Structure 1
Amino acid sequence: MRSETGDSGGSAAARTGASAFAGVPAESPAGAAEGIKDTGASSRPAHSVYGALDLGTNNCRLLVAKPSRRGFVVIDAFSRIIRLGEGVLTSGKLSDAAMKRTIDALRVCADKMRRRGVTRSRLIATEACRIAINGPEFIDRVANETGLKLEIVGRETEAKLAVSGCSSLLDRNCDWALVFDIGGGSSELIWLDLKQLGRSWRRSLHDRAGVQNCIAAWTSLPIGVVSLAERHGGREVTQSDYEAMVDHVMVALKGFEAQHRFSERVEQSRAHFLGTSGTVTTISGIHLKLPHYERARVDGCWLTAEDVRRVSNDLIAMSYAERVAQPCIGHERADLVLAGCAILEALLRVWPCQRLRVADRGLREGILTTLMAEDGHDRREQYRPHRRRRGGGDKPHHGRG
């Protein structure tokens, strides 16, 4: 388990310069770990086009957005499961096949950014590139073959961007909130002291980026849906297999809980979970009995702990083929969804919150929020997702895990 302080991973250059792609000047970074700074917004065009790319262990995901009168509007999006971190725990390296899949997806992202005229961007790589021996070498290869200049960010930056990306969904009537992001290779957990928000908090871009200042404690578990499924199995999962996964995660949580004792705060005050990941959006879609995934119905919806466990138990009882047939799962997630459910179950056992809010937003939105707040685009948000077009590769829904 990672410490709650310090930003690990990434070169000095990556931590001090925002990513860009060929033909677009690099700007100063969003400053997720350093706070929002005035970087001369008046010198930038009023209608800049922003890009945010999140290259994770499982997914490659892009958003392109423009500032609007009420926040930002997404004009293009892309998501593809690439499984970059497949096998990295055993080999210590990114495989040739995984790197090829990823570069193919990144070429699509580069093309979208060029066609949309992106003028400012931040392109981040997370756990798979952090832990792989050949992670930095792969980043150089990406730059050479696609023109995209990715930065390997540390876990602290990743956690703070996740908070900024979904903070408009926080329930201010609560005292505490656990924001969690279940990824492919790691899971970020951030406890927020909502009492610190203050009465003036209005969900503006700057306010949402500033929620980072309410972080009471955070940690990053080196456990995600891909790594957990590789360790315990993902296709054929028995009840005992599932419990073994839950136990594995609970052991990893012990030190963090012993240090901060958030279980006592949950019992003595009002608290809720806020989840941003493919795990929670999938559970929500199944709970709502959606014939196909609908972001508008999933993003922001509330679930109870009982709802989560009912869906998880139903999935355990299904065969792999039956999970594939679920419209909100499909073959790309059918071998990972129970690992995600097990991580969430471990969180609920350690911190027994009864209410969970689902966020179909996260790191990419956090990048856009911090970049635009830096540039002075600071009005109340109305987030408008890009509508998927037939024949395209856009999958703007579903988070990382």
Structure 2
Amino acid sequence: MIVKLFLGSAHKDVTIIMPEQQTYLTSDIIPRLAAIDVGSNSIRLVVAEALADGRYRVLDEERETPRLGRSLASTGKLDDASIADSLAALRRFLSIVQGLSVENLRAIATCAVREATNGAEFCKLVKEQLNLTLEVISSQKEAHLAFHSVRRRFDLTGKNTLLADIGGGSTELVLASGELIEAIYGTKLGAVRLNEKFGGGQALAGDDFKRMVRWVNRELRRTTEKPSAPLHLLIGSGGTFTSLAGMVMAARGQSRLPVGGCQIPRAELRHLIDRLRKMSLKQRREVPGLNPDRADIIVPGMTVVDCVMRRFKLNLLQVHSFGVRDGLLLSMIEEMQGRTRQDIPANDNAQLERFASACGVELAHAQQVARLAGEIYAGLCEHFEIDSEDRRLLESAARLQDVGYLINYDGHHKHSYHLILHSHLEGFRPEEIEIIANVARYHRGALPKRKHENFRRLCDEDQQRVLRMAAVLRLAGGLDRSHNQTVEKVEVRMADDLLELIVEAKEYPETDLWAARRRLGMFEKVYDSELAIEWAGQVTAKV
């Protein structure tokens, strides 16, 4: 097994995704690794099991909040109480590590220990009392680990992005072009540090808030340079961002979805800051989606986000629910397996097919249906005003439409919905996962209805997207009803207002055509068009 440390309930997101999980069960089959991250606000432990493709599944994780950096800004030191709390937390974590037979443990410390005048003394205490070597990493190393996590889980091709990793004592900023780092900026903009300096309660309703904003802006001007080219997106990691996403998604009625991938416009961020800073701590602790432990540091943290977006002229952020701990664990696994980052496949389809395989899906059929669905949808894009970007979601739904077989064949489409919704697929936003789940839900059975809770929760636009994709998916599924992958290609034609789907196959695909024609009802209703499905051999013969 392997050990890992990071934010979020990651132990839930791979329970059935990775087929290797069925074999890596004990420490004598594969070594276990653990990562401990000693931050300015919290200390985290993750224990995980490495998978053959360089990823991992979490076995256990734990988090405690000793606020090690709470007096750093005023005294420059770690106070005695936070040191005692941190030692107690680390002692408990090591007990867990020992109980899980971890062979490879790495513990890192970041800003608070790095900057404190008694940071070395703290590391010495940890070594003497717990026999644990605490590696104090630089701001640059912290940024590299955070970005390593991002480029393993995001497609950065052709994008200029800014990564912000906000901790309790500092914020690391990584300016990147594609997967190449252009610049790294280390700042003293931590949520705990700002809370100590300016307060985190209702003091931020007035002049203290304005003073904090000015101070943050000065620090950003001092430590960063504006990019030479426009940026596409801010990617945010750390507890501030996941807490922000939790509140935003609760307000949107999306608490059921994972926060990873949540996109938030700057205008929505600013509105939330303005609302929260006028609340008392008691009122903030009751805000849906916000961990009460963060009530006093959430406004300072979100203020850093807003000032960063203003500084770099960004209007949209996307939440990354992993970060430094994930980057650390991925690096440990690569070292163990003798890999470099370039060796690791970063392919959506590979991830989806691992999930499907673990659920007993017939991969050849799923791949065929995904290919045909994509071809049909691409053809329709030429004749209807529909979003070509949705092809990726449609093909993903096709690969996963039958994962519900894991539960039961009867009603498997409904089981597929729930399995996909809670799968925490990497590289997809929460809204996209919900759409994929709904499209898979309606690949068979009843048509979508507003009385269906899963469909009713979608906005009107997303409901229409699901209808369009599900209608295509039904046809594509019919075109491999034989499970023989007979159909080689499909082409959408429109002539004299007649819509045709031309099916190419070496031999007449009787069963597949029969099944597809039986499934025309939803398509013709959604697209308001009659559709003729013909074998290319017959069309050629008629000509």
Q: TM-score, normalised by structure 1?
A: 0.73
Contact 1:292-1:327 within 8 A present in 2 as well: no
How many Å separate the matches in 1 of 2:100 and 2:184? Answer: 36
Counterpart in 1 of 2:34? Answer: 51
Is 1:255–2:222 an aligned residue pair? yes
> 1:294 deviation in Å?
6.2
TM-aligned CA deviation for residue 52 of structure 1? 1.1
Aligned length: 317
Distance in 2 (alpha carbons) for counterparts of 1:46 and 1:375: 14
CA deviation profile, 1:243-290 (whole Å, cap 9, x unmatched): 321221111111344xx431x522xxx511110011111111111117
Letter in 2 for 1:156: Q
1:99 equivalent in alignment to 2:91: no
Report what 1:208 is aligned to.
Answer: none
Relative to its length, the structure with more helix (as a share) is 2
* Aligned residue among 193, 210, 219 for 2:185: 219
Q: Does 1:234 align with 2:200?
A: yes
Question: What residue number does 1:280 align with?
Answer: 241
Match of 2:73 among 57, 68, 89: 89
Letter in 1 for 2:30: H
Which letter maps to 1:55?
A: V
- For residues 274 and 150 of structure 1, the distance between their equivalents in structure 2, rounded to whole angstroms, comes to 28
Task: Assess if the C-alpha contact under 8 Å between 1:165 and 1:361 holds in 2.
Answer: yes
Once residues 134 and 295 of structure 1 are traced to their aligned partners in structure 2, the CA distance between those partners, rounded to angstroms, is 43
Alpha-carbon spacing, 1:50–1:290, altered in 2? closer, same or farther (3 Å):
farther
Higher Rg of the two aligned structures: 2
Which runs of structure 2 are paired with 1:65-144 in the superposition (5 Å)? 65-70=48-53, 71-144=55-128
How many percent identity over aligned positions? 30
The reply on whether 1:265 has 2:232 as its aligned counterpart is no
| 1:182-238 deviation per Cα after TM superposition (whole angstroms, max 9, x unaligned) | 1111111110111xx4xxxxxxxxxxxxxxxx1100111022111111111111221
2:252 and 2:80 mapped to 1: Cα distance? 36
Deviation at 1:305, TM superposition (A): 1.5
- Whether the aligned pair in 2 keeps the contact of 1:243 and 1:342 (CA below 8 Å) is no
Cα-Cα RMSD:
2.5
Indicate yes or no: 2:322 matched with 1:361.
yes
Q: Is the 8 A contact 1:293 1:328 kept in 2?
A: no
Q: Does 1:351 align with 2:312?
A: yes
* 2:295 pairs with 1:334: yes
Mapped partners of 1:173, 1:277: distance in 2: 23
C-alpha contact (below 8 Å) 1:219/1:256 kept by paired residues: yes
Q: Which residue of 2 aligns with 1:370?
A: 331
Native 8 Å contact 1:110 1:147 kept in 2 = no
Distance 1:68 1:261, change over 3 A: same
Q: How far has the Cα of 1:94 moved from its partner?
A: 1.3
Question: How many angstroms does 1:69 deviate by?
Answer: 3.7
Q: Indicate if the aligned counterparts of 2:35 and 2:105 stay in contact, CA closer than 8 A.
A: yes
Amino acid at match of 2:150: C
Q: State the alpha-carbon separation in 2 of the partners of residues 159 and 315 from structure 1.
A: 29
Higher relative contact order (CA 8 A, sep 6+): 1
Q: Which runs of 5+ in 2 are unaligned?
A: 1-26, 355-543
Determine the C-alpha separation between the residues in 1 that align with 2:154 and 2:209: 30
Question: In the TM superposition, what is the alpha-carbon distance from 1:125 to its structure 2 partner?
Answer: 0.7
Residue of structure 2 equivalent to 1:396: none
- 1:332-361 deviations in whole A, cap 9, x for unaligned? 211100100111111011112122110111
Q: Secondary structure at the match of 1:352?
A: coil
Q: Structure 2 vs 1, CA of residues 152 and 97 (structure 1 numbering), >3 Å: closer, same or farther?
A: same
The structural deviation recorded for 1:380 is 4.2
Matches of 1:148 and 1:294, distance apart in 2: 38
> Contact 1:242–1:342 at 8 Å: present in 2 too?
no
Distance 1:331 1:292, change over 3 A: farther
CA contact 1:293–1:327 (8 Å) conserved in 2? no
Where in structure 1 are there 5+ consecutive unaligned residues? 1-43, 198-213, 385-401
Indicate whether 1:167 and 2:151 are aligned: yes
Quick check: 1:169–1:300 contact (8 Å CA) kept in 2? no
For 1:343 and 1:256, locate their aligned partners in 2 and report how far apart those are by CA, in whole Å. Answer: 14
Supply the distance in 2 between the matched residues of 1:191 and 1:295 (Cα, whole angstroms). 32
CA contact under 8 A between 2:237 and 2:321: conserved in structure 1?
yes
Are the equivalent residues in 1 in contact too, given 2:158–2:177 (CA < 8 A)? Answer: no
1:149-172 Cα shifts (integer Å, max 9, x gaps): 211111111111111123234343
Q: Judge conservation of contact 2:201–2:279 (CA < 8 Å) in 1.
A: no
- Match of 1:299, SS state, is coil
